[in-house]
Amino acid sequence: MFILLSIETIYSVETGISFIKRGIWAAPGSSAFLDWLWSTSLIGDDGKRYWFDGALLVLKLENVDTCTWDLCTESGKVRQDPNSVYKIADFIGGKRSRKDPLPGGTHKVTRTGEKVVVEIGCIKVVCNKDHSWNIVINDAEKNFSADIRHKPVCHGPLWYGREKPSYLTQHSVTYGYNCSGAVEGVLTIDGKEIRVKGAGIRERYIAVDSSAAEIGGWEDWGWFHFDEAFGSVYDFRLGMKDQVITLVDENKNLPAGKLDIQHHEWAHMPQFGGFIPTVYKIKIETEAGTLDITAHAATARTWGVTGKCPDNPVATIHWDIVEGTFTGMDGKIKELHNGYGDMSIRQWRAYPSLIPPIDLNIGMNKEEKFTTL
C-alpha cells in the first residue's frame, strides 16, 4: 500500500515513516535510512560549555535501529608535533557517549494529542505542533540524563529534496531538512543538574540508500546561530551546495545565494585518521547582503553508523569562538553577537597509508577509531 502526505504534514508530523515529495512516492517502511538528529552548543549555569549531539536512526537494509548520544565538556588544543612540520589536534578529553545498535523494529512512533513521540532505547524525541522538539534521555548506565527543547526562532528550515529529489549520486537520493534554532533545558551529569541554554540544529533525513560513504569528495554540512542571524550550510565539493540565512530583525528568510567555505589551520586528528581544519571562514552572498563568519574549533568527535572504516571518515567539529558580520547592499556592516555553531565533514582520503600514525598512545580508546556513514 502507498499513502500520500503533504509537505506540511511531513514538517508537522515529523515521523518520515512514509511520505511523498512532490511526486516521489514511498511505501510505508520502505525508506532505507531515517533519522531524527540534533547537534547543540550550550552554556550551563555553571559557566561551562557543553556540546551535546545525538540521533535516532532506523536502518532498514541492515535491519538495525540505533540510539546514539555524545556529550563533550572540555575544549581541546592544537599543538605542534616536535618531530613533524604539521600540527596535532588533541580533542579527546571530557567526552562520554552511547551508541546502541538494536534489532530492527525496536523503534516506537506514537501519537498523543498534537504530539508525535519517537523512541529508541534510552532516547525519546517529542515532535510538537509548534515545530519544536523535546529531546529526553535517561541513561542510568552512563549516569546521564537530558531534557532539552529545540525551537526555531522564526521562519522555516533548509529543505533538500523538497521541490525535486536531492541527488548526491545516481543512487544516493535524499529528502529532509536542517533547522537551526534556540535550545534550552537541563543536563544531569553524575547526579548534578545543570541548566543549559544555547543553540543548535536538528535534522530529519530520509534516504533510499543507507550508506553515502562511497560518494567520495569533501562534504561540509553545518549550522550557525547569532542573535541577529542564523542558518545552515551544505557544500558537497563534487556537486551540490545548499544554504539558508534568516535575518531576525528584518524577518527575512534567504534560502538562495552564493556559498564559499574556506578551511584554515589544518591539524592531524589521530581518531579521525586524517587532517581537519581548525579555522573556518564562510561567506554567503544573498540578495540582501553578505554574511561573513569566522569560526574556531574547540573539539571534535568522530561518528558513523556502519562501524566500517573506509577512506572517507566522518567527524563533527565543534566551535567555541564564532564571529560574524552581515554587510547590507547599502554597504552598512552589522556585527553579529553570541555566535554558536559546528560543522560536520566527510573527508576523501586518497592516500590513507602515506602519512604514518602519530602519537597513537595519547589516550585514544579502541572504540574511538573513526567510523563512517
pLDDT digits (tens, 9 = 90+) for 2-25: 222 333 334 334 443 333 333 333
How confident is the model over 31-88, as pLDDT tens digits?
777 889 999 999 999 999 999 999 999 988 788 899 999 999 999 999 998 888 889 9
List alpha helices for the chain, DSSP H. Answer: 7-13
Read off the amino acid at residue 349: R
| HSE (side-chain half, CA atoms, 13 Å) at 255 | 10
Whether 330 has a pLDDT exceeding 50, the answer reads yes
Confidence of residue 216 (pLDDT cuts 50, 70, 90): low
Rounded Cα gap, residues 62 and 70, in angstroms: 23
* CB proximity list for 19: less than 8 A, separation 6 or greater: 5, 9, 10, 26, 175, 206
Is the pLDDT assigned to residue 359 strictly greater than 60?
no
Instruction: Give the rounded percent of residues in the chain with a pLDDT score beyond 90.
Output: 54
Residue 269 has pLDDT above 60, yes or no: yes
| Average pLDDT for the chain | 82
Q: Is 115:129 a contact under the CB 8 Å cutoff?
A: yes
Which pLDDT value is given to residue 1? 30
Quote the distance between the C-alpha of residue 368 and its chain's center.
Answer: 19
Full set of structural domains in the chain with CATH? 7-368 (2.40.370.10)
C-alpha R_g of the chain:
20
| pLDDT above 60 (res 195) | yes
Higher model confidence: residue 336 or residue 238?
336
**The three cell numbers locating residue 189:** 551529569
Please tell me the pTM assigned to this model.
0.85
Total residue length of the chain: 373
CA angle, 258 then 213 then 370, to 5°:
105
Section 262-270 average pLDDT: 92
The CA angle 323-294-197, to the nearest 5 degrees, is: 45
